[in-house]
Structure 1
Amino acid sequence: MRTADDTSIRRIDLPLDTAMKAAADQGKGFALRDATSLGRYISPAYAGNFKACFEKQKPNLRAVDFFAVRRSEKCPLRVGDDIPPGKTPKVLGVSLRTAVHQLVEAGFAPDHISVDTLDEAGNRTNERHWSWEVCTQNPTAGTPFSADLKPKLVVEASCSGD
């Protein structure tokens, strides 16, 4: 993953939300990237749960790339280093809204999460009922994270077989 211009990547150790605010205060845009080889999606909504390990200035764009890990993780020695993958969270029985938040926080990109909503008769509907509960999840809870996985949730007003 290292490239010839990696010398422009500077090690920092700041809470991600602090680094984002500093960039915004300087009138810069920013992109959030996983500092590891896992390729996790880093959501600005959960910046408080991450720390910026590295930054790469993009002076022509007045922007900066931040490379981050969870606050509970150690920063890798270099951008793209391997770390053990986390586990897919259990989202069965929680609301669709909560499930999506948990999956995004785990590193899944929102556009990789698909949802099937079933009405009372078990027919698929195009409506999103954010308060309905997740009855089926794939991958199952505990599956090692992979950016290639595309989580699929099935939600219903009430899961049968409880």
Structure 2
Amino acid sequence: MKNCARSLFCFIFLAVSVLPLLAEKVPVGVMTYEGETPDGSSVFRIILNPPAGVTFDGLTPAFFTNGTGHSFTFPDRQASPPLYNFLFLTVPDSGFASCPCKSASFMFSAKAGTRVRFNGKNSVVDRTSVSILDPLPNAQVLAPQQSGTIYLDTAGHKTEHN
């Protein structure tokens, strides 16, 4: 009987300790590399349309090309979906690396304890959520019209590359 109780206790302990690992990636938008302009600038379109229960309140967005970039404030919300639809133009002296781009990253920074509701569950948002757009297989740089999903990561989720 003691062994049965001990086994049950161990099972419950392990089950409870695994709960934080049930993290999710919440899809909130898309970043698309539109291509280069004649002067060598690169154009990226960002479309953000979070699912019900997910807001960007308390989050700071940032955008990077080739590992160089900065945070920014959201533009005004649109009256109809998507919530945000805007362009980044990586002109010289704009704080972005010159392209052709080997990667683009969209990042959210959250205050500790920021919560969202997704798929019927309340979750804590990671302090940083990073979505990375890498070149297609066998390519050195991003291709025009290449896109990737922007995610908001909940606690315990690992960054993945698009």
TM exceeding 0.5: no
When you count strand as a share of all residues, which structure comes out higher? Answer: 2
TM range (shorter): under 0.3
Higher relative contact order (CA 8 A, sep 6+): 2
When you count helix as a share of all residues, which structure comes out higher? Answer: 1
